[in-house]
Amino acid sequence: MSDLPRPLFFFHLVLKGSKANERIRNAHIAWGQHNYRVYRFGDKDDRSALALDILRQHRRVSRFLQPAALAAALNNAVWGGRSTVKDALKLAEKLRFDAPYLHDYANMARNDISYLDLFVSRLRYLDELPADADRKHLSQEGYGGGPGEYIPGLFEVGLRIYAGDIPDSEGPFAFERWATGPRFGPRVIDAAFGLDRDYDWYVIGVAPIDYALTAALLTAHPASRDWVLQDFSSLLARERSSGLPPRYRLPGSVWLAHLLCATRVNGSSPARTELAINSLYADLQAHVVEGGGIPENLLTEPPGASGDIHEKPYWWDDPNNVSLPVLEDLLAKATTHLLGVSAGAMRADPATLCLTSLVRYDIYESPTQELLKVIYDQ
């Protein structure tokens, strides 16, 4: 007994017995005021209570927890399935278990979108946590070394809007608050080249894919989607002002061109009308003209996550350059081409892809034609 953590708690599990069972009643009377409780395993409410009480007692001997492992253990009919999983994980957060909630919740939600509410509520908790709050219970928070460890804000804010945690009308402010920080300082994604090689690579080659996925996620949230498209366009303008050669701007130009096409196809709300799609598209044409045109194959196979400013991209010396087609022609070209593209392993809804992009690198390694199919909802 001296080797066991104290104080001890005794779980008395009764396999058979009704609520009126005299032995169970006597046990409650005799021991109910001590660290002791009786659970009738035949009663589903008692089984759920047992799971939650085990969690409460475990917190008295350890502050660490693996949310995914807990979910796997409880996600069956015996313990109550998904509802018990959610109750247990919400209790774990309330008890301030130190755990990789964001990483595990994102993985759980990408496999079962019904868990998205857990992920979103955790984002809200972290966002609202006062700056001077005790953070000892957050040592494992993050994305486990996945892409989300770097610049996750586009996906995080986008998923909160998508899930209804942030109304679409407030989406632009939420995005802008993230993009500039609480004091509205330098932008998180900006044309600040030369300071960090990884950051240069992200802005040129990865950010366009993140913008594309977030915009696809927010098809039904026009005000928020408009902010994403406008911010993407503004980033390209700042890249030009910073002196970034136009050939490096081609990935962003191509992805934004397709997003503008898809916006015209998938929506006609006043917010999108005010976005002035034609004006934004004309700005893209100027970027392409400055670079001497665009390799024709990039129109239907946009660049993946590559963009090292210290090396020439593979399309730099491509001789098959064409002008950026007018918006209607690019739309026709893209939709016709995508009809012949078979669905691959990446085909999924945008919410699942955004969640996956926080914890895995699959989306950045997969053929970009498949991402076009998601953008055009084909």
Place of tokens 């078979």: 342
Residues in contact with 58: Cβ distance below 8 Å, sequence separation at least 6, in sequence order: 65
Closest by CA to 247, choosing from 209, 297, 205, 291, is: 291
Lowest mean pLDDT among 18-27, 61-70, 263-272, 340-349: 263-272
Closest by CA to 315, choosing from 337, 291, 335, is: 291
What are the residue boundaries of the structural domains of the chain, listed by start?
A: 1-42, 46-138, 147-375
Distance (Å, whole) CA 234 – CA 236 = 5
Please give the pLDDT value at position 142: 93
Cα three-residue angle 368-209-340, rounded to 5 degrees: 25
For 295, the 3-state DSSP assignment is: strand
What mean pLDDT is predicted for residues 70-89?
A: 93
* pLDDT above 80: residue 272: no
For 313, the 3-state DSSP assignment is: coil
* pLDDT above 90: residue 227: yes
User: Crossing angle of helices 101-111/116-128, nearest 10°?
Assistant: 150
Distance (Å, whole) CA 122 – CA 94 = 11
Residue pair 84/48 in contact (Cβ under 8 Å)? The answer is yes
Count of all residues that appear for the chain in the document: 378
Q: What is the residue-averaged pLDDT of the chain?
A: 86
Strands (E), the chain: 10-14, 36-40, 294-295, 321-322
Please give the pLDDT value at position 4: 44
* pLDDT above 70: residue 366: no
Lowest mean pLDDT among 44-58, 183-197, 214-228: 183-197
What mean pLDDT is predicted for residues 312-319?
A: 82
Please give the pLDDT value at position 2: 44
